[in-house]
Amino acid sequence: MEAFNDFLTVLSSDTCRILDLLFRLIINTAFTIIIARHFYFPKARRRDFFFTYVLVGFCIFMLIHLMGDAKIKTGIAMGLFAIFCIMRYRTESVPIREMTYLFLVIALSAINGLAWAADISPKHPEFMGPLMTSMGELIVTDLLFVLGVWIAEANKLVKSLSSKYIKYDKIDLIKPERREDLIADLKERTGLDVTNVSIGSIDFLKDMALIKIYYNTEESDETTQKMPKEYE
């Protein structure tokens, strides 16, 4: 009878741990997908990075959550940040925006993996982790991550400045003293919020000039337009 009671106790504790693991994994995966799908993907359209963020979030969470010792968990979390910091400065192919989202996913998964349910750990001290949080606190923390991403991606704090080359036919307006007239004409003809202009090559035979315009836009232009070859 005593052995049976011990079996029920172990089964009950294991059930609590499994439910805690599954619930936190669902929370972590859901918030990772929300950040990657609804904030990163609409602008970048990079399926490879979306795939990477979801799987990295899953792997980081499982790795940290299933490590037994609290000090080891914290050390692994800090080590992961150090590794990816080194990768950022030794890898030129990963844009800063993609790397920032990767840091964000790692931080989110590390917090969710380090945290343990406050209503489970007191009953089972052997399960205690470095962060004691309730499910409500964990969800609020993840929501704050989402809020931070939304504020950063809202483009309300800083306007994005884009540029492009255009062939301009009114070369009488390219004179320095007529700069305001040139910008006004460009705004009217392009419909863009032109803020500055730089004059490139001038062809008096064709009455054409290559100019580069700078204009405000709500979304940043991820592509950089190169100067046409005939004007290089």
What integer pLDDT is reported at residue 37 of this predicted model?
A: 92
What is the distance between the alpha carbons of residues 211 and 164, in angstroms, rounded to a whole number? 8
Predicted confidence at residue 126, as pLDDT, reads 47
If one compares 223 and 217, the residue with the highest pLDDT of the two is: 217
Q: pLDDT tens, 12-44? A: 556 767 777 888 889 999 999 999 999 998 888
Match 């320095």 to its residue by tokens.
176
Residue 127 confidence (pLDDT) above 50: no
At residue 1 the predicted structure's pLDDT band, cuts being 50, 70 and 90, is: low
Six token digits for residue 57: 């979030």
Residue 117 has pLDDT above 70, yes or no: no
Question: Are the CB atoms for 166 and 191 separated by under 8 Å?
Answer: no
| The pLDDT of residue 201 | 86
For 161, the 3-state DSSP assignment is strand
Contacts of residue 161, Cβ cutoff 8 Å, sequence gap at least 6: 195, 214, 215, 216, 217
Q: Round to whole Å and give the CA distance between 6 and 182.
A: 85
* Mean pLDDT for the stretch of residues 118-145: 65
Residue 95: what pLDDT?
Answer: 79
Q: Residue 186 in contact with residue 194, Cβ under 8 Å?
A: yes
The pTM of this model reads 0.63
Report the pLDDT value the prediction gives residue 28, as an integer from 0 to 100: 93
Banded pLDDT at 96 (limits 50, 70, 90): confident
- Cα–Cα distance measured from residue 159 to residue 152, given in angstroms and rounded to the nearest whole number: 11
Summarize pLDDT for 180-200 with one digit per residue, the tens: 989 999 989 888 888 889 888
Which one, of 143, 138, 162, lies nearest residue 220 by Cα? 162
Segment 141-189, tens digit of pLDDT = 999 999 999 988 876 666 677 888 888 888 888 888 888 989 999 989 8
Using CB atoms within 10 Å of the CB of residue 128, give its burial: 0 to 12 exposed, 13 to 18 middle, 19+ buried: middle
